[in-house]
A and B are shown apart, each in its own frame.
Chain A
Amino acid sequence: MTGSPATSSGRLQRLLALVPYVMSRKVVGLADTAAAFGVTERELVDDLNLLWCVELRSPDPYCPIDLSYEGGEIEVSQAEQMDRPLRLAVDEASALLVALRMLAEVGAGDEGSALSRTIAKLEAAAGEAGAVSSQVAVQVDKIAEQAVLTQLQDALARRRVVHLSYYVPGRDETTERDVDPMRLLVVDGRTYLEGWCRSAEAVRLFRLDRVLGLQVRDLAADVPAEAEPKDVDEGLYRPSPDDLRVEIELAPLGRWVAEYYPCESVDELGDGRLRVRLRTPDSRWVRRLALRLGENGRITRPADLAAQVRSDAAAALAQYD
């Protein structure tokens, strides 16, 4: 794996990129450059000093790199053969090409074919390093609700409130709500709307395949200042302290639960059995999960939830009498 600029050999990579970065822009500010490289100004100055100090002693001693950063402006006056960045490594070319092709599949941001142009240019620049990227592919769920997506993009562009009829599987109910749209996300193959839910008075993610109806209202969207977009990189689901903690024991045929839902802990119990602990804001969801698992899963904690599952099962069985 190619290290990120934060790892040990990362500094050398950064130094090799720094000189061409400055040269391609003639003159750049210290602050801007530090921001672009994700380092502090102090670290950047240390990098520049290091570059300036490079010397070769033979056949005649000389310093190949000459630069200055007086008055907060960096300028490189001499750089020998260091004036261009190193070509892309296989990992680097693949990371971008796979991501670009995924974007193309989502249909994101391809107004005026910017994506296909970028992919072609990057493939050309990467050369051989780009070839392996075809062995990694990301297939995104086709959004059946193309009409919903188009309406949402329109609402985002015009900053309009949307009214959603939204299905909540845990309750097996359709809910009605007004949402101030913030952005569209594709996480792990599923498309979501992130927005300020006026009924919950909180930021919520809505899976597009659960939107049963949508109207763009003639009402200006007004996302409150306190509405923070979720840091989806930390995972879509983050438990709150109020959430119910549930412990389930799973038979081998119930192991899929650990793959499908984020668990706080997963312990092997032998013979393929698992104990998982998860947190949920909605106990109804867990009760349904227990019915679906049948004999392949058993809620061991809390006890009252286990009792509720038994009464749910009894109520459902009564329909068959």
Chain B
Amino acid sequence: MSRRKTERLLGLVVCLLSSERYLTALQIRAAVPGYPESFEAFKRMFERDKEELRELGIPLETGSNSAADEELGYRIPRQAYVLPEIRLEPDEAAVLSLAARVWRQAELAGAAAGALLKLRAAGVDAEETRQPGIEPRLAGEAAFGPLWEAVRDRRPVTFAYRAAGRSEPQQRRLEPWGVVNRHGRWYVAGHDTDRDAVRVFRLSRIMGAVRFTGPAGSVTVPDGTDVRETVREWDTDPPPQQTAVLRVRQGAGHGIRRYARSVQPAGDGWDLVDARYSDVGWFAEYLAWFGPAVVAVEPADLREAVIRQLKGALA
């Protein structure tokens, strides 16, 4: 933004904030320096300026001072413009500055910085303190920006999605209800228009661009929707039903021992471990990780699956 434009926009804000009455475009042109002489050129520039102020979140109102007024005017109602009074105690200001640093290089990092600036301008002293607490960090993902905008503005979207294990991405259409980060991964939940059902998508599996397919306000989030709960249900594995007997070398296989039902010494530096699992394919892959330190004893299908897995690595 050029200096002249910044000056003009600043003048426009001050002018409209200072007036209780709606000002017509012509009154504005007379008061704010920097607009061109030609009326057509002025109109175009003024339209762009209005748009720019609205994008910054400045509440620009259109209306007329009386029913008799033919021409519409503009004003910025102070009530709608100003940040309400906010006073923070020192410990509150400290957690606020901690919160502002959570979004690392993520889409909302700039927004967090902008918010902190306004709060500082309201008199809050949010200094960067290094306290011996816990510092959380949150990363974004390419699809997060457009999906957050879609959720915020209630717009339907479409994107190419590659479900786990599928070779080709599929085009999906979604009315997004919310974005959730679970175990460090981002998900979007909403109404899948083609399947007419609630669906959850992992952002890292969205291929390419997310496109809006409808205007703002055209998505209705059903009352009582809890996106967090929707994603939790979708992401929760069924409880393990199967039981396995494994030979695990002593001092190895920590991950297996941790969730084992029992561990008994089997001699020669080996333990016999009683473990539970829900999916034989997944568990066989997991056991293969430990190489020769873990042997699947039973059931037979698990044993066969681990052997197949290892032969796959041998090929």
Q: Which residues of A contact B (CB under 8 A)?
A: 1-9, 11-18, 20-21, 24-25, 36-37, 50-51, 53-59, 64-65, 80-82, 84-96, 98-100, 102-103, 106-112, 114-115, 117-118, 121-122, 124-125, 127, 129, 132, 134-141, 153, 156-157, 167, 169, 172-174, 183-191, 212, 232-233, 252-253, 255-256, 259, 271-273, 287-296, 309-310, 312-320
Interface pick from B39-47, B66-74, B285-293: B285-293
In the complex, 24 of the A-B residue pairs with CB atoms within 8 angstroms, ordered by the A residue number, are A12-B13, A14-B117, A20-B123, A51-B10, A84-B82, A94-B108, A96-B116, A107-B134, A125-B84, A127-B84, A132-B151, A135-B227, A139-B180, A184-B134, A186-B134, A187-B137, A188-B184, A294-B310, A310-B314, A314-B314, A316-B310, A317-B314, A320-B295, A320-B307
Residue of B nearest to A159 (CB): B132
Residue of B nearest to A33 (CB): B120
Which of chain B's residues have a CB closer than 8 A to the CB of A12? Answer: 1, 6, 9-10, 13, 56
Within 8 Å of chain A (Cβ to Cβ): is B138? Answer: yes
B136 touches A85 (CB 8 A): no
Q: How many residues of B contact A (CB 8 A)?
A: 126
B151 touches A114 (CB 8 A): no
Task: Give min CB distance, B184 to chain A, whole Å.
Answer: 3
A291 touches B148 (CB 8 A): no
Task: Give min CB distance, A205 to chain B, whole Å.
Answer: 12
For the complex with contacts A102-B102, A291-B310, 14 further pairs of A-B residues with Cβ separation under 8 Å are A56-B15, A56-B31, A57-B32, A81-B18, A85-B118, A89-B56, A92-B115, A99-B103, A112-B91, A121-B88, A153-B132, A169-B255, A272-B166, A291-B291
In the complex, what distance in Å separates the CA atom of A80 from the CA atom of B116? 23
Within 8 Å of chain A (Cβ to Cβ): is B266? Answer: no
In the complex, what distance in Å separates the CA atom of A189 from the CA atom of B111? 21
In the complex, what distance in Å separates the CA atom of A241 from the CA atom of B303? 41
B121 touches A292 (CB 8 A): no
Q: Which residues of B contact A (CB under 8 A)?
A: 1, 3, 6-7, 9-11, 13-15, 17-18, 27, 30-33, 52, 55-59, 78, 80-89, 91-92, 94-96, 98-100, 102-105, 107-123, 131-139, 145, 148-149, 151-152, 162, 164-168, 177-185, 202, 204-205, 221, 227-228, 231-232, 247, 251-255, 285-286, 288-293, 295, 303, 306-315
Which of chain A's residues have a CB closer than 8 A to the CB of B152? Answer: 90-91, 94, 132, 135
Task: Give min CB distance, A272 to chain B, whole Å.
Answer: 3
| A86 contact from B118, B162, B179, Cβ within 8 A | B118
**Chain B interface main SS type:** helix
In the complex, what distance in Å separates the CA atom of A118 from the CA atom of B87? 10
Which of chain A's residues have a CB closer than 8 A to the CB of B83? Answer: 84-88, 125
A13 touches B181 (CB 8 A): no
Knowing A132-B151, A313-B311, say if A5 contacts B117 (CB, 8 Å). yes
Which of chain B's residues have a CB closer than 8 A to the CB of A111? Answer: 91
In the complex, what distance in Å separates the CA atom of A290 from the CA atom of B309? 10
In the complex, what distance in Å separates the CA atom of A57 from the CA atom of B34? 11
Which of chain B's residues have a CB closer than 8 A to the CB of A272? Answer: 162, 166-168
Residue of B nearest to A125 (CB): B86
In the complex, what distance in Å separates the CA atom of A255 from the CA atom of B164? 8
B108 touches A138 (CB 8 A): no
A98 touches B136 (CB 8 A): no
